[in-house]
A and B are shown apart, each in its own frame.
Chain A
Amino acid sequence: MRGVIEGGWEFVIAAYAVTAAVLGLYASSILLRLRTERQRAMKQVP
């Protein structure tokens, strides 16, 4: 009972991985949706 956290890198890696995954997936979803919508808009207004 030293009052010090030993190790715990698995938590650190998990936190950074979750951050990268959430931000990365959200960014890609915006870019994908934007591309789809642009293509649709091009078709609608020639």
Chain B
Amino acid sequence: MRTAGQSRLSLASVALGVVLLVAGSYWGLARAPPEIFMGDVQRIMYVHVPTAWNAMLALVFAFVCALMFLFTNDWKWDNRLEAAIEMGVVLSILLCTQGAIWAKPTWGVWWDWDPRLTTTAVQVFAFGGILALRAFAADPMKRAVWSAVACIVAFADVPIVYFSVKWWNSLHQAQSTPDTVSSAFHWPLRINAIGILFLWTGLVALRARLGALRLRGELAPPDGGPPLVTR
């Protein structure tokens, strides 16, 4: 019953996220003014920037889960780790796709190997690689320990993605601040950012639940006796 309640809470979070995303996107697409040079194309910002922030947040959460698992050896952190990495990879791939669609009319190309884009690609492949390795590891304990270790190491790239536009010459612009973005553009950006936040936290909770069920199946003795993990 406890889990049914948790699932309901996660689903409510997902639903709230969807509502906020619809509202923020409506504001961004129909109410906000076009940017004076970029015109309507600037509206892509309202999905691209919130995706970037949340991809980073999801990977920060994955990093925390990895540390928590190694310190406690509690399986729930392994389930959350898997869920958070998967979410981080999905958001990072989405981020690159939105970025390419915005880049074509703005920069003139879909993609270029500038420091920001390159380090983001590294992020996709590093964390995607951890998911691929997990799929091949048969022993749950080894899988959990090594993906946590790999996640901590791969996390080094996440702040590098953030700082890439400050440290190196890049095609991608540096971070905007509220001072460099007109106030007319602020609310759709914030609403969509909070929307994606609710959406991904709900989805990660559900995905962790899925991981827990699978793990219970893996650890259950073949004779159908009581499972080793009751969580």
Give the bracket for the number of chain A residues in contact with chain B: 20 to 34
Complex Cα gap A15–B40 (Å): 12
**Count of A-B residue pairs with CB < 8 Å:** 88
What is the CB-to-nearest-CB distance from B221 to chain A, in angstroms, rounded to a whole number?
A: 11
Q: Which residue of A lies closest to B47 (CB)?
A: A19
A34 touches B101 (CB 8 A): no
Q: Which residue of B lies closest to A40 (CB)?
A: B217
What is the CB-to-nearest-CB distance from B76 to chain A, in angstroms, rounded to a whole number?
A: 16
Complex Cα gap A42–B211 (Å): 15
A22 touches B210 (CB 8 A): no
B216 touches A15 (CB 8 A): no
Complex Cα gap A27–B213 (Å): 18
A44 touches B43 (CB 8 A): no
Other-chain contact of A8, B39, B93, B199 (Cβ < 8 Å): B39
Q: Restricting to A1-46, which residues have a CB under 8 Å from any CB of B?
A: 3-9, 11-12, 14-16, 18-19, 22-23, 26-27, 30-31, 33-34, 37-38, 40-41, 44-45
A26 touches B90 (CB 8 A): yes
What is the CB-to-nearest-CB distance from B208 to chain A, in angstroms, rounded to a whole number?
A: 10
B101 touches A37 (CB 8 A): no
What is the CB-to-nearest-CB distance from A14 to chain B, in angstroms, rounded to a whole number?
A: 5
The answer to whether residues A37 and B106 also contact, given A3-B37, A15-B47, A30-B206 and a CB cut-off of 8 A, is no
Q: Restricting to B25-63, which residues have a CB under 8 Å from any CB of A?
A: 25, 29, 36-41, 43-44, 47-48, 51
- What are 9 of the A-B contact pairs (CB < 8 Å)? A15-B101, A19-B47, A19-B94, A30-B206, A33-B210, A37-B210, A37-B213, A37-B217, A41-B216
Apart from the given pairs A12-B43, A15-B48, 19 other A-B contacts in the complex at a CB distance below 8 Å: A4-B36, A4-B37, A8-B41, A11-B102, A12-B44, A15-B102, A16-B29, A18-B101, A22-B93, A22-B97, A26-B203, A27-B199, A27-B203, A33-B210, A41-B213, A41-B217, A44-B217, A44-B220, A44-B224
Which 3 A-B pairs have CB atoms at the shortest separation, nearest pair first?
A8-B41, A37-B213, A15-B44
